[in-house]
Amino acid sequence: MQVQADVHAFGACLNDFILGSRKMLFVDGTHLSGPYEGTMLFTVALDVDNHIFDVAYAIVGMKRLRTVSGF
């Protein structure tokens, strides 16, 4: 299998995480279906007022290079 990833992080969100949030990240993911197959992973943090904000997200897709038959 070949893994392909597209990762995005916004500069303002990274600065907020470094300067004004709790130093804890939460990572979660969900499977995508339909024309956009793969997995969406995202990272969020809490600021000092317990508000959630996005830090980064990624869309990860797996591509099979060959199929195995006989199973």
Domain boundaries, the chain: 2-63
* Average confidence score pLDDT of the chain: 76
Of the CA atoms within 13 Å of residue 13, those in its CB half-sphere come to 16
Cβ atoms of 69 and 58 within 8 Å: the answer is: no
Mean pLDDT value across residues 20-41: 83
Query: Among 1, 21, 23, 18, which residue's Cα sits nearest to residue 68?
Result: 1
> In which band, very low, low, confident or very high, does the pLDDT at 70 lie, cut at 50, 70 and 90?
very low
Between 35-39, 52-56, 67-71, the lowest mean confidence (pLDDT) is in 67-71
